[in-house]
Each structure stands twice: as C-alpha cells, then as structure tokens.
Structure 1
Amino acid sequence: MCSSIISAQTSEAFKELEGKVIDANTKDPLIFTDIVIKDSNISTVTNSDGEFLIKIPERFSDGILTISHLGYEKKEIKISSIKNPIKIALSNDYTELKEISITVNALDPKDLVIKTLGKKSSIYNNKNTIMTAFYRETIKKRRRNASLSEAVVKIHKQPYNNLRRDHIELIKARKNTDYTKLDTLALKLQGGPFSNLYTDIIKYPEFIFTEEDIPLYQFSFDASTQINKKPIYVVNFKQKEDIKTPLYYGKLYIDAETLALTSAVYSLNVSNRELSSQMYVRKKPRKVDVYPTQANYRVNYRTKDGKWHYAYSNISLTFKVNWKGKLFNSVYTLSSEMAVTDWEVHDTKLAKVRSQLIRPTTILSEKASGFSDPRFWGAYNIIEPEKSIESAIKKIQKQLKRT
C-alpha cells in the first residue's frame, strides 16, 4: 500500500512508490534507469540492485510514471494503478537503424564529438536553475564500509552558455566514519558533490576534452543504439598509443537528431602509477605509497521541453595503499553518486546566500546526526541504497540506539 505522509519541507502530502526495474528477457536488474513523473521535473534513478523509491506530491497522484533506459523501450504507468512494491520489466528496443548506419559512414567521429561539445548554447538549459539533488559517498576497505555520507543539496546551476561555475548549497547531511577500519590512514574524498558535478562534460569540458587534448585521442564509431525510439550514435574514444600522459577512454552516447550528449561512460588510464597518483592524491604520509588501480565515471543527461540538462553521475575510485616495511597492502574504494531529483528555473541571480554554500575542496562534515531518524529526509527524494549500504545504515542505527 502507498503511504501518505505530510512533508517536513512543505505542507503538501506525498506518497512513496517503490519498485524494481529488470530486463524482460534476462530478469537482470537495470541500473541507472530513469524514473520520472511525466510533465514534471521530479525524478530519481535506480540503484545497483535496479531498485528505486520515489516520493510523489499529491498533485501528481493521477499522473504518469515514465521508466526509460538506454537501449530499451520506454514504459509509462498510471501512478494511481501502482501497488507497492512494483516490478517493471523493460524490453530491448530492436528497431533496425539502417538510416543511422548510413549517416555514420559519412561522418568523422572526432568531428561529431567536437560538434556535440559546441552545442551547449543551443540545446542545453540556458536559464538560471535551482536543482535539488541527492548525493551519496562511501569509502570501503576491501568490501567493508568504513565511511558513509549522504546529503541533499541545491545546485545553483548556471546557464550552459556562460563560463560561470555552478554553486552548491548544503541543505541536509549525515555522515558516519569508523576509523578503526581505516588502519590509521584516513582516506577522505575531497570535493564531495562538486566531484560529481564536474563530470558534466558539456558544462566542464576542460576536465576531459580540452582543445589541446582532443588531438591526443583516437575516436571510432561503435554499434548504434536507441533511447525512447530515438537513434543514438555511440563513439569510442581512447588516448593514442604514443601518448604517455594519463587520459581517459570510454564511450559517448550522442543523440543522432540534435547531437546532444545523452550519457558518457569512461575511465582514466591508470597504467602510469606515478602520474595517475599525482592526479588524485593530495596528501599522504611519507612512508606510504598510494596509487589508483581503477577510476571509473558515468554521467547521464535528461531532456525537458527540448532542453537537455545534467541528471545523474557516479564515480568509483579504487586505490592500493602500500606501507613501507609492511608485508600486506590495503585496497580502498571511494564511490560517490549524485542524482537531480527536482529543479526549477530562477529568473533572479543565483547563489545569494554565500554562508550556506560549500566549496569545491569541501569534505563533508563528520557529524552522524540523522542516521537514527528514518524520516530524516522528509519529502526529499533520495537514491535507494544498495544492499551493502542499507546494511551499514542499519548497523549505524543500532549503534546509535545503544549509545
């Protein structure tokens, strides 16, 4: 049964819908699936188990829930007909792409990428926008959670057609760290939500595709795909073999009609330990070597009224820590994800309240307040935690009750 709850942030009631999205054929969970209330800016994304929970304001109780995933047919379900929990199966979109294949043969993939990066002024949201987003960050030693942080933030999103950087305002946050699992080495993720925001390649191309770097990459076409019945170019990229500086490799998914970037999945080439370590490690003890073994990124965009905007990103960084004189090493994984759950256009200048803004160098507060309160987030939409994180939260709640 859907529960109706009075919001702590507004006077409007809302109900929670929870479910799981799977592949209709394999029954595997579909991660990073977009869950959107049609004709609104309210949305969420499925977690690594394919699960989601979305809080729907009462005014949309007779609305439509849309479920879409790259390469699958979009599904629409009337909200009033949904019973908790719901399992949604999406089928592969098998429509042949003969026309797009012919077009690809006439295009140079490098030129296509350059054209896509140059589209920010025409097809992306160029109005001042306040985006509500949910952010989660975890640090694991091998498979055990050592630190867990969550926050609701307001992104003061600048228009895509100017060079001003976005600001982030911290609304609510909670954090718990068990330093006994960190072997006296406190790994901290500097940047917090900004790290995820900077994966917005269209707004911040300087972090991956500068004018100087593009000639250092090799671009090629992969098999095309579709999203919501629209053809999508898939472009592979990697650094040229004679380039020793660590650069990125991965795939860009580009809308064939508008040349908008719909998503990107990429990784840093970490084969050069020394240089890749310099990119990530800001501070460490002299008797320890720290270097990344994996650095993976993903960013998704969403469209509304013909304009595209940043919607979701995740980062996963794995580091190996070697203490000089010690026989065994340690492996840590730092992960973060951020999803835009609502947004609204603002005609006035953004980021007026400077005291509430966080910096790009921020490390989230060590405070653990809120983990004992199941209604901590109120009406804010969050990303459902995966099973291991859900277990860690329950342990934190038990610890707080005992103390």
Structure 2
Amino acid sequence: MKKQSLIRTLSVFVLFFIGTNTFTAQEKTTALFQEIEGKVVDAESNNDLVFADIVLDHSNISTVTNSDGYFALKIPEDHINGTITISYLGYEKIEIPVKEFEAHKKIRLSPVTTALEEVSIVTTPKNAEAIVRECLSKKSSLYNNENTLMTAFYRETIKKKRKNASLSEAVVKIHKQPYDNVRSDYIELVKARKTTDYKKLDTLALKLQGGPFSNLYTDMIKYPEYIFNEQSLPKYNFSFDSATKINDRLIYVINFKQKETLNTPLYYGKLFIDAETLALTNAVYSLNVSNRTLSSEYFVRKKPRRAEVYPTETAYRVNYRTKNGKWHYAYSNISLTFKVNWEGKLFNSTYTLNSEMAVTDWEINENKLTKNRRQVLRPTTILTEKASGFSDPRFWGAYNIIEPEKSIQSAIKKIQKQLKRT
C-alpha cells in the first residue's frame, strides 16, 4: 500500500471535470538582454536533437531544445562576450561565442567516435544493481548541498488526438533544499498564463494535479522513495547496455525493469551514470501500464460515472547538470496518454497530457530560503486554476522559456489573433 501511494504521488493525477478560472501574476523587473535562437540537429542524419542542453558558460543561465530541436536563450547584457555550450548525450559538444551566433542558426552535433563497445568490455563492472545502489548513495557528496533558489519555466499541455485543447505556462521559483537533508523543496509561482478550448474536450475538462511538483519529483536523487528505495530496489532486474559519452566523459547505461513475477505496476527504462564519479546524469523511464485497472487507479482522481479512463502510454525523463563539481536537477518531462471510453458510444477518445520543466537560472542562497506565502504552490495545486488568459509576446520579459513546438506555436498565434479581434 505504501508503494502504491508513492507511485500515485509521482504519477500526475488526472481530473476529469469542469472547473473555474482565476489569475495570479507577478512581473519581473525588465533587464536588458540579447536573445539568440537556433536549431540543433544530428550532423549525419539531420534529425532534430530533442532536449539538448544550451548553457551560457560562466553563468547558471540555460535552456533545452524543444521537440522540434529549436531553442531560444536570452543573454543578459553583461554576458554578451560570453560563450554558449551545446551538448547532447552521445554527441560531441560545441562551443560558440554569443557574438558569432548569428552564423550558427543550425547547429550540427556529431556522434561520439570513440569505440565505446571496446571501452565498455574493459571497464564496465559486472554488477549493475551495485552501481545503481552506489549512485543513489552519493547524493551527499556529488550533489548540491546548499540552499539554492532556482528559476524554472514550466509548461503543461493537453491534446485530444493531435489538437491542442489546453495550454498552461508558468515561471516559478524552486526553493531547492540541500540534497543531503530530508526537507522537501517548495515552489513559488512568479507568473502564469493559460488557455483552454473546452469544445475539444467533449465536455471533459482534463486537469493535471500537482503541476510543477510532479516534474520536480522525477529528481530521483532528491526523491528516491518515489522510484528506488530499499523496499523497491529488490523488485527490479538491472543490466548493462552499451556505454555512451557526454561532454567527453564515459557514461554507463543501465537498463532496469520489474521482475516478471510481480503484478504491481512498476517502472522500466534506462539510467545514465557517469563512469568516474557514479553520478546520475540522465534517466528515461516509463510505468508499466499493462494492468489497465491498477494503472488507472494510479492516475485518475475523478471521472464521469459513465466513462472508463485508463493510461495507454507513459514516459518520464530527468536530466541533471554539473557546476563546479556538483550536480543538480536541470530538466524533466512527463508524457501520459489516456483512452476514454464512454458507455453507449462506439468510438473512444485519446488524450495526451505533457508537462515539462527546465531550470533556466539559479543561485546559491546562503541564508535560509524565504518564500512569498501568497504565491506558494502546493503538491495538490492545479495550475490551470492559478492562471488565466494570454498576453502579448512580451509577457515573459527577460525570463527564459522552452521554445514551444510547432503545434503550440500555432495555438498561441490563434490565441493572439482572437485577442486582437476582441
């Protein structure tokens, strides 16, 4: 029962009902900046590289590429002479001066050429589970153990089939507690906007409960109890996959999945662990939803009596970055696909819910982190009830965001046209 409760916390609750709208917003002081943008692709195949890291050197300013490989980054005036580093797991990193960025609109990353198979045979340990256990035990030595105030951009979308039905975006402040203590992080809302087209939801208003907290809890180093703890670790099988590289460092790739004798839905996926330090750099995983009844209980909080709702696919990703030898949470993405079967109806409906959060800046706060209690979110928060309406393209000011994918860009343009007409 305890494990089920933990999975429910990590798994985003999906509520199916009509709700009301309110508004919360707080402006940031305008700062002078230069915005650069580009697209990151594979140099050989020309395929988009999704979730590539874009980092301004000698600062904590960063973002990631979107699902189309695009990004935009706002560079403060005092960093115009700086350098941008673009990196991606399994590829050679590239460094480009900010002043030369106009000539690099399409950035091509080359796959690493090291004979990783040979390296893997020589250096990979034999016991994958032992590596995972040691990795999880290193949060006190390898991860940031100071009070940290992180600025992050959060976006959640709901699509019916391939059409956007709901879009919410927010800038938040994450009051990140040291990794070596048990205190939970808390989140403060800075500003947010949203739009919902209830006509596309077939009288259903799908809402994500938890909002940014659901993405924050994918930080399995800070919150190992939601995936791997002493009770759950023995329920998994671990094995080595082919090694890879990131930023010239060898990375162990470890597969994990629940043991076949277990019926309770658990996770399966890959862990990417730095071979030298055993720090977790990335994780990509899913929840086993083959048991329709149990998996639906993990996700669905409320639904109409005449509807059957169950997940068909889940996907989670968490990325970490390192600064001055210390790692920290940088980005996470959650994607959930649901089927809704209505009693007496021949056809069902498919909905995809996606949430992502990227840390775009951060600073060490040596004093105890203070918070604006009026703006603090709770793990039960529904972001769509904390935001209302859309504004002009200058809405985000100097804050960095994740560039919207093509379908979201199209939706935003439609919203802005409607605003102009009204």
TM-score band, normalised by shorter chain: over 0.9
Query: Which residue in the other structure is 2:122 paired with?
Result: 102
1:201 paired residue number: 220
Secondary structure of the structure 2 residue equivalent to 1:388:
helix
2:170 aligned to 138, 142, 151, which one? 151
Deviation digits for residues 140-170 of structure 1 (CA, Å, limit 9, x no counterpart): 0111100000000000000000111100000
Which residue number in structure 1 is paired with residue 392 of structure 2? Answer: 373
Counterpart CA distance in 2 for 1:178 and 1:373 is: 19
Q: Hey, what does 2:360 align to over in structure 1? A: 341
Q: SS at 1:83's partner residue?
A: helix
Aligned to 1:383: 402
When normalised by structure 1's length, the TM-score is 0.96
What is the Cα-based RMSD across aligned positions, in Å?
Answer: 1.3
* Aligned: 1:172 with 2:167: no
1:370 deviation in Å? 5.8
User: Looking at both structures, which has the greater relative contact order when contacts are Cα pairs under 8 Å and sequence separation is at least 6?
Assistant: 2
Supply the AA of the counterpart residue of 1:169: E
In the alignment, the residues of structure 2 paired with residue 182 and residue 85 of structure 1 have an alpha-carbon distance, to the nearest angstrom, of 41
- Within the candidate set 296, 299, 303, 2:322 is matched to 303
Map 1:13-162 onto structure 2 (within 5 A). 13-83=32-102, 86-97=105-116, 98-104=118-124, 106-162=125-181
Q: How far 1:352 sits from its partner (Å)? A: 3.1
1:284 maps to 2:303: yes
Deviation at residue 185 of structure 1 after TM alignment:
1.5
Of 222, 227, 230 in structure 2, the residue corresponding to residue 211 of structure 1 is 230
Question: What letter is aligned with 1:283?
Answer: K
Residue correspondence of structure 1 range 239-318 to structure 2 within 5 A: 239-318=258-337
| Counterparts of 2:355 and 2:103, CA distance in 1 | 28
Deviation of 1:85 after TM superposition, in Å, equals 6.7
Q: Return the letter of the residue paired with 1:62.
A: N
Q: 1:342 to 1:88 in 2, by over 3 A?
A: same
Structure 2: distance between partners of 1:391 and 1:160: 40
Determine if contact 1:100/1:256 at 8 Å carries over to the other structure.
no
The CA deviation string for residues 103-153 of structure 1, in whole angstroms up to 9 with x for no partner, is: 21x330011101111110000000000000000100001111000000000
Q: Does the 8 A contact of 1:65 with 1:79 survive in 2?
A: yes
Cα deviation for residue 94 of structure 1 reads 1.2
In 2, Cα distance between equivalents of 1:11 and 1:152 = 15
Q: Does 1:350 align with 2:350?
A: no
Q: How many pairs are equivalent? A: 395
**TM-score (ref. length: structure 2):** 0.91
Whole-angstrom distance in 2 between the partners of 1:266 and 1:102:
27
- 1:103 aligned partner, one-letter code: T
* 1:203-252 Cα shifts (integer Å, max 9, x gaps): 11111112111111011000000001100000000011111000000000
CA distance in 2, matches of 1:37, 1:331: 39
User: Which sections of structure 1, spanning at least 5 residues, go unmatched?
Assistant: 1-7
CA distance in 2, matches of 1:116, 1:308: 12
Residues 85 and 226 (structure 1), Cα distance of their counterparts in 2 relative to 1, 3 Å cut: closer
Partner of 1:392: 411
Report the 3-state secondary structure (helix = DSSP H, G, I; strand = E; otherwise coil) of the residue aligned with 1:9: coil
Distance 1:394 1:367, change over 3 A: farther
Encode CA deviations 1:330-376: one digit per residue, 9 max, x unaligned: 11000010000000000111243222100011111447656231100
State percent identity of aligned pairs. 70
Runs of 4+ in structure 1 displaced over 4 angstroms? 366-370
